[in-house]
Structure formats: C-alpha cells, structure tokens
A and B are shown apart, each in its own frame.
Chain A
Amino acid sequence: MGTADQPETAATSFWNDTGRSGITSWIFSTDHKRIGFLYFYTVLGFFLIAVSLGVLLRIELMAPGRTIMGPQTYNAMFTVHGVVMIFLFIIPGFPGAFGNLIMPIQIGAQDVAFPRLNLFSWWLYITGAAIIITSLFTGGGPPDTGWTFYVPFSERTTTNVSLAVFGVFVVGFSSILTGVNFVTTIHRLRAPGMTWGRLPLFVWSIYATAWVQILATPILGITLALIIAERLLGAGLFDPARGGDPLMYQHLFWIYSHPAVYIMILPGMGVISDVIPVFSRKPIFGYKMIAFSSLAIAGAGSLVWGHHMFTSGMSDTAILVFSFLTFVVAIPSAIKVFNWVSTMYRGSISLEAPMLFALSFLILFSIGGLTGLILGAAATDIHVHDTQFVVGHFHYVIFGGAGFAFFSAMHYWLPKFYGRRYAEKPAIVAWALLFIGFNITYFSMMVLGMKGMPRRYYDYLPEFTALNLTSTIGSWIMVCGLMLMLVNLFRGLLKGEPIGSNPWGGATLEWSIPTPPPTENFVEEPIVTHGPYDFSRSGIP
C-alpha cells in the first residue's frame, strides 16, 4: 500500500458525516471515535499541566534550599503532579483514548457495546477532573499529602483533601464503567471469524486492563470514601487512639493502587505488541504467550500490593509472601520482553518514529522492571525505601514504559484518523531528545536514592547537588523533545502529507478501512479469515 492510493482525505468520514457540527456534536456524541478524541485531548491537556508541575518541582530541587517556591507549595505541587498524572492522565488515558479509538475497529465492531454509557464515562471523568481542579483553589488549598493520601496525615491536614478525594472517587467510577463497557464489547461484538486467537494483542491488553478496572477500582472507591468519613464523621477506623489501624489504610489503598499500575502499563504493552511486528515485517513471536501473560500480569499483579509496605511494620510472614509474589509477576513481564525481542530477530526492521518509541519502551521498561525487583526484594527495599530511587524506578516504568508507549501509539494511530502524517525527521529528533533527557533525569534520581536522598523532601544535603542539577537539566532536554514532538505531530496531522489507508503495512482491521474511518467504521461487516499479524495472507508485502 503506498500513499498514492488515496491522495485526498476521504470525502465522508467520522469527522463530517454525522450531519451535525459544532461542539455539541462532540461532547454529546456516542461515536467511539469522537469519544476517543474527547478523552485524548482532555488527558493530553492534563498531561501537559502535570508536566509543567513536574518541571517546576525539578527546578526547585536544582539547588539545596529554597529556589523558586516554599515548602508548602512544594508539598502541594508534588501531590497535584501525582494526582493529575495518575488519575487524570495515565489511568484514563490508554483505555479512554486509544481503547476507544482503536479497540472496536480492531475487533470489527461499529462501536462499543454501550455507546451512551461510554459517553457518560467521559462526562464522569470530566466532572471528577473539575472537582479535583476546584479542590486546588478552594477551602484550605491544594492537598499536600502526596498522591497516596496516607493516613494519619490525610485525616489531619487542613488542606482540601476531602474534595480532591471525592473527585478521584468520581474519576474511579468512570474507570469502572469503561471497564464494564470494554469487557462486554470484546465478548459480544467481535466480527464473524474474529476468534479469541485472532484478537490483536492490543485488544487482549485492553481486555486484561478492563478486568483490573472492574475488580480493583471499587476498592479505591471505598478507601477514598473512608478518608472522607474519617475527616467528616471522625469514624476513627484508621486512628490508633480509637482502635483503628493506619496499616489497614495502606493495605486498602495498595490493593487498588498496585493493580492500577497494570492499568497504566498493560495497554502500553499492547501497543508495543502491535507496533513491533509491523515495523519488523514479521509475525509476532509467541502470540499466545503474550496474550496469556497480559492476563497473568493482571491476575498475579493483584496479589502483590504488600511490597509497598515492607517498612510499615507488617509481619515478616507477610513480607516474605508479598516479596515472593512480586517476583512471580516478573515472569509474565519477562515473557513479553523476550517475545518482542524474538519478534525482531531477523526481521526487516524499519526505524520509524512509532518503532523508535516502542524500542525505547523495551529498554526503559526493562530497566524499570529490573529496578522493581530491587524494591520487591525485602532486604534491598529496606535500604532504598522511600528514596529518590523509588521515584526513578516508578518513572522508568510509567513514563518510560506507558508514556513512551502512548507516544508510540500517537505516531502510529493518529495519522489514521486525520488522514495526514507528521514529518519523519523532526519526529526522530524529538524522540532522541526525549530518550536522552529521560535517562539523564531519572537515572540521576535512582543514583540519588542509592546514595540516600529521600523522596518528597524539599531540601537536601550539599553532596546531592550535582546529581540533582543533572536531573533538572535532563528534564529541560525532555521538555524540548516533548514540545518538538507535539508541534511536529499536530502540524503534520493538520497540514502534513496525506496518507492512504495503510501507511505502515499493518494487518489488523483498522488498516483495512478508509482513512479517516467512516462513522460506521466498516462499509459492510468484515469477515475475519486470518490472524492479526499474518502479513502475507492480508496481501501486505
């Protein structure tokens, strides 16, 4: 397939064939592609806000003592950075944006199972986001507890924790409904011939993610509701003075929040599993194991939450068990990594932007995963617990993993919806800046943590200055890369070179329909006769 097939954008597509126009044709649309874009642009907005906060945090830490903000502002800022990044960007980001845009097309459906519920999910998300934003400017000011809202501080601080937590509760409800919708969609709406063994791996990952969303998020809901009950009613369930146990808060919080890490990373793994075969010109290696490992990660990952609590005073037996289970989760993750590498072996690899982001995912996620084992082993965890090492590790997994996968997905799939593509060279320069800046920023943090610098500290000893400065400079390189990437991408999507229906030579269903897709996705219901990575049988050279 060349770009010459359809030099012009298709005359009718989901952009214009609905018969309606204006803002209401978007915010009240039940088309999964329009809802996908609603999510995409809102999560992207929140991502940029949280990036700005992160950069400010790095500037503050550039030198010891006060640099640009006071300690209270610093506490509020790292809390809001975490809350926005996690609850408003990366958790809703993948399912909401790319899950909506891509998953129904990949299974050969016209839409999700419950289109109106889908729209309602977005509205809940926006409502929750608005509540969180309101909490920053009202009451006692932005919350300063860290995104984990640990008791007893979250019960006692005079900042606006109750409202912020309520906002997160509403966003969580939206996440549950998205999960319900996607599991039902994948069970009920697959096109004829789209057997479970022919599902694209992105769909498998969205499926596993949706189950985690359904089963884990309610625990977060009740935990957050309990914080509100503690603050407003004085229930005392986590207050030792009244018989409660603060440790139980940590358990409840991490029962959700550890699986939530897999809500963030699993769809990213799905993107990588779709991108690598296409840019290696080879069918995926170990399809069944990759699909199975997504479910294994979702299942085993629900049983490891205690590794966040090794220094909390939990029993030694519990530490042993949770440490063991944490190592068990490493197995399916490693299976995926080995399978991706084997897919590339002797492939005809083309290093275009989506592939470069996918490859950096492999490297960064591997570093993040292996440093995770340092934290998962109780003995080493005691040394680096609550240090910058944890911050570095977490960013390697979530930004280096999920974040880079998100960028890969943006370069891989967005041109399909706009009918135009970005310029390749600036995209590669942007990728290089992001990759270099990323490693400088977060590797310095891991070294700092090894040397003993705690996380969330406003001030530090003079011997940490050089590495902190290095990390901050890295963050500036990353910002340059990010800005270049976004400008190039969106300039290209709006004004770039037009593309045909299958610019990359993919064999999944989204590449078989016109570019941009029509509202109904498929002109007639597709009948699937081959697997998602069976390039030769789908007529792709």
Chain B
Amino acid sequence: MTHAVHKDHAGAKLGMWLFLFSELLLFGGLFLLYATYLARYPHDFARAGKGMHLVFGTLNTAILITSSLTAAMAVTAIQRNDPRKVLYLLGGTILCAAIFLFNKYLEWSSEIGRGIYPNSPRLAAGPPGESVFFSLYYLTVGLHGLHVLVGASVLGVVAWRVKKGIIHAGDYALLENGSLYWHLVDIIWIFIFPLYYLLL
C-alpha cells in the first residue's frame, strides 16, 4: 500500500463542511452577544441602527451575492473543463471582494470621522446601548472583513493553481472547497446585514 494513491473528494468536502461549522460558531459568539444586548437595550439599539449607512450595506450585500454567484459558476465551469472561464469567474469574485473591502473602508472612515468607534468620547457620552451596538458592529464586521480577505486570498491561490493546471476537471476539490468557504463568507454577511442595517 502506498500513500495518497487516490484522492478522497467526498472526504475533503466533509472536512470543509466541518470546518465551516466551526466558523459559524465563531461568529455565533458575537451573534449571541448581539441577542443579549438587543434584549437589554432595545431602544438604544434602534437609535444606533438608524445611524447606519444603508446604502453601503445594501451595495455590499449585492456585491457579495454576485461574488458568490461567480464562485459557484467557477465550479460548474471547471466541471465543463473550461479553465479560461474559471479564471475569469474567480477574477470576478476577487474583484467583488476588493470592491466590498473598499466600500467598507469608505463606510468606516465616514463613521470614524463622525466620532463613532470603540471607546470614542462621543459614544462614551451617549447611552450605553449605543456604545455596545457599535463595539459589536466593528468587531463583527471587522472579523467578517478578515474572512473576506482570507477567502479572496484562498481563491487567489486556487486561481493560480487552475492556471498551472494543478486543478482541472478531474481534480477540483480545492476549487470547490474554496468556493464553499466563499459562500460561508457570504452567508455570514447575509445575517450581519439585516441585524445591523435593516431590522432596527
């Protein structure tokens, strides 16, 4: 018997799903805090939520959903043995990720400019629920942004491997897993968006 004679695609995917569970729970801690503090400070949370940039939030939601679409299409394209198309689609996803982060940068700059950031004098002077809301917002969205960065980098590596022909129609577990990871990044945003921008 020799090592690594056959590759276990189902196993690789199972491993990825398990890892995604752990990622969901990582964010779960923050959502738990959100739920507790929302129950304690419903009015402060509502007031703080009204001050969010709905335009940036909506725009970024559309961008991320589009990026997930191109990531999913990349998997179909590799199954149809069209590496050129895969590269274009993955490029689209990575471009969307960059636009998303740029928007985030603009949004955060504007908020920080208005004196809204953790431990800021303005929040310290306001009601306690608002300070908690924005601290949670920065941490949750910051952690999500980190995942966008990691996900885009992973897809970058995947694209490079597709270009080198290491990932091809016969062996694309890494592309599929990278794409799964990207969907996770997307789905966490799908929860962040209503909780922070829409509901309140």
Listed in ascending order, the chain A residues whose CB lies under 8 Å from chain B are 30, 110-111, 113-115, 117, 176-177, 179-181, 183-184, 187-189, 214-219, 221-223, 225-226, 229, 233-237, 242-245, 248, 251-252, 255, 520, 522-525
Q: Which single member of A30, A189, A252, A523 contacts B29 (CB below 8 Å)?
A: A252
Q: How far is the CA of A233 from the CA of B119 in the complex (A)?
A: 7
Chain B positions within 8 Å of A217 at CB level: 22
Residue of A nearest to B10 (CB): A188
Q: Which single member of B27, B41, B139 contacts A235 (CB below 8 Å)?
A: B139
Q: Is B21 an interface residue (CB 8 A)?
A: yes
Q: Is B18 touching A179 in the complex (CB atoms < 8 A)?
A: yes
Contacts A184-B14, A218-B29, A234-B119; A176 near B22 (Cβ below 8 A): yes
Q: Is B11 touching A113 in the complex (CB atoms < 8 A)?
A: yes
Chain A positions within 8 Å of B33 at CB level: 237, 248, 252
The 8 A-B residue pairs with the shortest CB-CB distance, nearest first, are A243-B128, A234-B119, A222-B29, A218-B26, A218-B25, A188-B11, A235-B135, A243-B132
Q: Which of B10, B19, B28, B124 has the most CB of A within 10 A?
A: B19
Q: Is B41 touching A243 in the complex (CB atoms < 8 A)?
A: yes
Q: Is B23 an interface residue (CB 8 A)?
A: yes
Q: Is A214 touching B29 in the complex (CB atoms < 8 A)?
A: no
Q: Is A244 touching B11 in the complex (CB atoms < 8 A)?
A: no
Chain B positions within 8 Å of A189 at CB level: 11
Q: Which of A176, A251, A255 has the most CB of B within 10 A?
A: A176
Q: How far is the CA of A208 from the CA of B71 in the complex (A)?
A: 34
Dominant secondary structure of chain B at its interface with chain A: helix
Interface CB pairs A-B, < 8 A, 14:
A111-B3, A114-B15, A117-B15, A179-B22, A180-B15, A184-B14, A188-B14, A214-B18, A222-B30, A229-B118, A229-B139, A242-B135, A252-B32, A525-B1
Q: Is A215 touching B21 in the complex (CB atoms < 8 A)?
A: yes
Q: Which single member of B4, B8, B44, B132 contacts A236 (CB below 8 Å)?
A: B132
Q: How far is the CA of A218 from the CA of B22 in the complex (A)?
A: 6
Chain A positions within 8 Å of B24 at CB level: 218
B13-60 at interface with A (beta carbon < 8 Å): 14-15, 18-19, 21-30, 32-33, 36-37, 40-41, 44
Residue of A nearest to B18 (CB): A180
Contacts A218-B26, A218-B29, A252-B29; A180 near B19 (Cβ below 8 A): yes
Chain A positions within 8 Å of B12 at CB level: 114
Q: Which of A177, A215, A236 has the most CB of B within 10 A?
A: A236
> Would you give the shortest CB distance from A526 to chain B, in whole angstroms?
11
Contacts A188-B14, A233-B119, A236-B118; A248 near B135 (Cβ below 8 A): no
Q: How far is the CA of A248 from the CA of B135 in the complex (A)?
A: 15
B114-132 at interface with A (beta carbon < 8 Å): 118-119, 123-124, 127-132
Q: Is B22 touching A110 in the complex (CB atoms < 8 A)?
A: no
Q: Is B41 touching A219 in the complex (CB atoms < 8 A)?
A: no
> Would you give the shortest CB distance from A398 to chain B, in whole angstroms?
24
Chain A positions within 8 Å of B14 at CB level: 183-184, 187-188
Q: Beyond the given A236-B131, A237-B135, could you list 4 further A-B residue pairs with CB under 8 A, ordered by the A residue number?
A: A115-B3, A215-B25, A216-B25, A222-B28
> Would you give the shortest CB distance from A205 to chain B, in whole angstroms?
18
Q: How far is the CA of A177 from the CA of B23 in the complex (A)?
A: 12
Q: Is A242 touching B128 in the complex (CB atoms < 8 A)?
A: yes
State how many residues of chain B have any CB contact under 8 Å with chain A: 44
Q: How far is the CA of A255 from the CA of B28 in the complex (A)?
A: 11
Q: Is B21 touching A214 in the complex (CB atoms < 8 A)?
A: yes
Q: Is B136 an interface residue (CB 8 A)?
A: yes
Q: How far is the CA of A251 from the CA of B129 in the complex (A)?
A: 20
Q: How far is the CA of A398 from the CA of B80 in the complex (A)?
A: 54
Q: How far is the CA of A472 from the CA of B12 in the complex (A)?
A: 51
Q: Which of A115, A243, A251 has the most CB of B within 10 A?
A: A243
Contacts A226-B139, A236-B119, A236-B135; A243 near B26 (Cβ below 8 A): no
> Would you give the shortest CB distance from B96 to chain A, in whole angstroms?
26
Chain B positions within 8 Å of A245 at CB level: 36-37, 40
Residue of B nearest to A30 (CB): B3
Q: How far is the CA of A225 from the CA of B29 in the complex (A)?
A: 11
> Would you give the shortest CB distance from B41 to chain A, in whole angstroms?
7
Q: Which of B11, B22, B123 has the most CB of A within 10 A?
A: B22
Q: How far is the CA of A248 from the CA of B123 in the complex (A)?
A: 21
Chain B positions within 8 Å of A176 at CB level: 19, 22
Residue of A nearest to B139 (CB): A229
Chain A positions within 8 Å of B40 at CB level: 245
Chain A positions within 8 Å of B118 at CB level: 229, 233-236
Chain A positions within 8 Å of B119 at CB level: 233-236, 242
Q: How far is the CA of A446 from the CA of B10 in the complex (A)?
A: 50
Q: Is B19 touching A522 in the complex (CB atoms < 8 A)?
A: no
Chain B positions within 8 Å of A235 at CB level: 118-119, 135, 138-139
Residue of B nearest to A241 (CB): B128
Q: Is A222 touching B26 in the complex (CB atoms < 8 A)?
A: yes
Residue of A nearest to B117 (CB): A233
Chain A positions within 8 Å of B23 at CB level: 218
Contacts A233-B118, A233-B119, A245-B36; A113 near B132 (Cβ below 8 A): no
Chain A positions within 8 Å of B131 at CB level: 236, 242-243
Chain B positions within 8 Å of A111 at CB level: 3
Q: Is B32 touching A180 in the complex (CB atoms < 8 A)?
A: no
Hey, what's the 0/1 contact readout for B122-155 against A, CB within 8 Å counting as 1? 0110011111100110110001000000000000
Q: How far is the CA of A486 from the CA of B37 in the complex (A)?
A: 52
Q: Is B129 touching A219 in the complex (CB atoms < 8 A)?
A: no
Contacts A218-B29, A237-B33; A180 near B1 (Cβ below 8 A): no
Q: How far is the CA of A179 from the CA of B41 in the complex (A)?
A: 38
Hey, what's the 0/1 contact readout for B56-94 against A, CB within 8 Å counting as 1? 000000000000000000000000000000000000000
Q: Is B128 touching A180 in the complex (CB atoms < 8 A)?
A: no
Q: Is A184 touching B11 in the complex (CB atoms < 8 A)?
A: yes
Q: Is B1 touching A243 in the complex (CB atoms < 8 A)?
A: no
Chain B positions within 8 Å of A229 at CB level: 118, 135, 139
Q: Is B10 touching A110 in the complex (CB atoms < 8 A)?
A: no
Q: How far is the CA of A395 from the CA of B34 in the complex (A)?
A: 36
Q: Is B18 touching A184 in the complex (CB atoms < 8 A)?
A: yes
Chain A positions within 8 Å of B29 at CB level: 218-219, 222-223, 226, 252, 255
Q: Which single member of A177, A221, A234 contacts B26 (CB below 8 Å)?
A: A221
Q: Is B18 touching A219 in the complex (CB atoms < 8 A)?
A: no
Q: Is B15 touching A113 in the complex (CB atoms < 8 A)?
A: yes
Q: How far is the CA of A2 from the CA of B127 in the complex (A)?
A: 77
Q: Is A218 touching B36 in the complex (CB atoms < 8 A)?
A: no
> Would you give the shortest CB distance from A419 to chain B, in whole angstroms?
21
Q: How far is the CA of A28 from the CA of B136 in the complex (A)?
A: 40
> Would you give the shortest CB distance from A34 to chain B, in whole angstroms?
13
Residue of B nearest to A113 (CB): B11
Chain B positions within 8 Å of A252 at CB level: 29, 32-33
Q: Which single member of B1, B25, B138 contacts A219 (CB below 8 Å)?
A: B25
